[in-house]
Amino acid sequence: MRQSIPMSVQKKTPDQPTPARKMSFLLDIGMRFFMLFGLWVLLSGMLDAFHLALGALSSAFIILISYSFFPKELILWRRPSCIWSIFIFILWLLVEIIKANAAMLRLVFRKDITAHMEPDIVNLQTRLRNPMALTVFANSITLTPGTISVTVNGKGEFSVHTIDSKSAENLPGEMERKIGRIFGE
């Protein structure tokens, strides 16, 4: 015969919200709201009550319909050090894209272009394991002219197409370290 366990003794299931989980949820919603609302105010430039209320309602509505779209890994991005790392990474990536564009421009305008092009598929191993980190890494490689991510798996193994041997010299390198810092790896 089964004994019933009093409610006060039963363990909480993982689905029951704890105070810490509720606080985390509210913080998450609040940060998203203020980021969207701030962007709305910045882009609209309208500071009268009607337009501010409209922006607040629009921001709240967007959060309501899109909350489940955001991956759980974004919780990491609340740390100030992580936000700073993202900012530094974006600036660094923009500089790398400009440098790679200049290198591709030099390659394209050579008279003997075929002598300097050495297309290749380079296989590389990264220490990143977080799916979001792997995605950011693959997209960053593809954004950099002269390289395209061909395949990636959950073990951190990449195949990258490069237009010349110089394009593959710094992979994974600094990009991997910066992305690892963002995702705590």
Read off the pLDDT of residues 58-103 as tens digits, 9 standing for 90 and up: 999 998 888 777 666 666 556 667 778 888 889 999 999 999 899 8
Residues 161 and 131 in one domain: yes
Percent helix, percent strand, percent coil in the chain, to nearest 5? 60, 10, 30
Query: In this predicted model, what pLDDT tens digit does every residue of 155-173 receive, in sequence order?
Result: 888 998 888 877 777 778 8
The tally of domains found in the chain comes to 2
Give me the chain's average pLDDT, please: 81
- Give residue 59's domain range: 19-70
Position 12 in a domain: no
pLDDT at 61: 93
The reply to whether 157 falls in a domain is: yes
Q: How many Å apart are CA 150 and CA 22, to the nearest integer?
A: 41
Question: Do residues 156 and 145 make contact, with C-beta atoms less than 8 angstroms apart?
Answer: no
How far apart CA 102 and CA 5 sit, in angstroms, is: 71
Q: State how far the Cα of 71 lies from the Cα of 86, in Å rounded to an integer.
A: 17
> Model pTM?
0.65
Are residues 109 and 175 both part of a single domain?
yes
Q: How confident is the model at residue 29 (pLDDT cuts 50, 70, 90)?
A: confident
Are 62 and 102 contained in the same domain? Answer: no
Largest CA distance in the chain: 89
In sequence order, the β-bridge partners of residue 21 are none
Instruction: Clarify whether residues 85 and 172 are in a common domain.
Output: yes
In a domain, 8, yes or no: no
Asked whether residue 98 falls in the same domain as residue 41, the answer is no
Whole-number Å distance between alpha carbons of 105 and 98? 10
Band of pLDDT at residue 55, cut at 50, 70 and 90: very high
Distance CA 17, CA 23 (A): 10
Are residue 30 and residue 48 in the same domain, yes or no?
yes
pLDDT tens figures, 5-22: 555 555 555 566 677 777
Q: Domain ends where: 9, 35, 70?
A: 70
